[in-house]
Structure 1
């Protein structure tokens, strides 16, 4: 009985070891050309094909060739190379934004797709002489803590009233990977205001903004509807302004001007029922 129990325990240990070996990872280095198509130099991705000698090419290049391998010039018939497909599906590299906090291992042939969608891609500080860059959440804290920028939470309704002074004003969103940056600049003709959605992956405008300035003292009422630009701020703030309030129509208030802003996604606007 004891011998049977010992044998059972031994088999269990061996099974556990085999299970462990199946999940082992081996870090290796290899030339990039090993994982790139020798014809188009793009990363190899399944389905892959090989000539009779063993040269692998991507499916896109395979469709453009006759029966001659462009690498070895041997007449051949190209067949699927499942072994190499397994290799490229397991070959992972660090994200190019690793230093900004992305810890994800990326399949080599998907590295460009990941880079375009990576939430840790850096956005830049636009304050003169700063040079800081980091993920949007880190940059938001940087503006508020390091540069003492005023900040306001943008409610779910999308409408907020705030007091603007020349400089930057941050609109924080809850549970999003982006934030909005209002910039008010004193220009010869008046105060010029712009709004930017700060996010690493620049896309077509996804938001619309309505800004309204209404001053009882001067009787001035200025408003505008505009698309919100997206930017990583790597090229600085946009030089185009969305709203200009003439200087002669601004109340003399040292605390700045009161502005009401509504920022909504375009999808929300399309879903709204038409007003009666």
Structure 2
């Protein structure tokens, strides 16, 4: 009997422990269900959000593939042109394509459908330009995504990772780093502790640069101050040499100035061969006297500027030449365009329009 009672007690204790363990496990399950497992509605909400983001990114990728340039296969950053069949090209590739065909004397065609391209046949697609401006693009400095219409302003003014030179660079400091580190560097910049004799060479270099720019401005103002001054709006037309390679050159019709007839010649890359294989393109020009000089000897200052037609982006620069009966052609002068892209834009046009300002220096001052 005693053994039976002890066994019964052990069974009761075991049942109680099992009951307690079950209760504890139920409480933990209820706790887990309440704290760590999101409700079904929340799960669905999270899944819907992630799916929407994935679909949005896929849509952006698909739009980027559809709206990209047919030449460089990249999304345009500026104007978008299209051929008669609707294939898209960014402004830089469009101008470069027309310029290459102008140099090689070929007919420009669309890289996709081979339809003929021209300034008159191709049009801008404003809807695509607006759509591309809203697509996200990655900042080249910090890697964050911004709409393309905001990206340029962000990279230039607001990005903390944008390259920024030290404010003491005029004193010879060559440090250039992220904008967020500029203040810390400038506080410890060694150029701040230089003596006057050590700073003087850098200041002289900056003064020489400023003097060069000042002389350009002074020369142009002197051009406008002479007694005899005139200007003509002229148009460059393309021609081909009679050589085997048929090099491209430009020439204007004759125009009158100071009782004489003049014309302007222009050439590409100083008549070097295979200019269509290089991206570094420039134009040079010369002023030519047609006929006998009157008076027999006179000095002309001249400068090419942007006229009312064409919109040439050219920097101010004044050239001069003394015309005589034997010296009727000036030396070749570099046309100071802002960059090679502007040269391609001019070559892409059928004609090049600009204005030339000329002044005749009095003979007595020669």
- Asked if Structure 1 and Structure 2 have the same fold, meaning a TM-score greater than 0.5 normalized by the shorter chain, the answer is no
**TM-score, L = length of structure 1:** 0.31
**TM-score, L = length of structure 2:** 0.26
Name the larger-Rg structure: 2
Going by fraction, where is strand more abundant, 1 or 2? 1
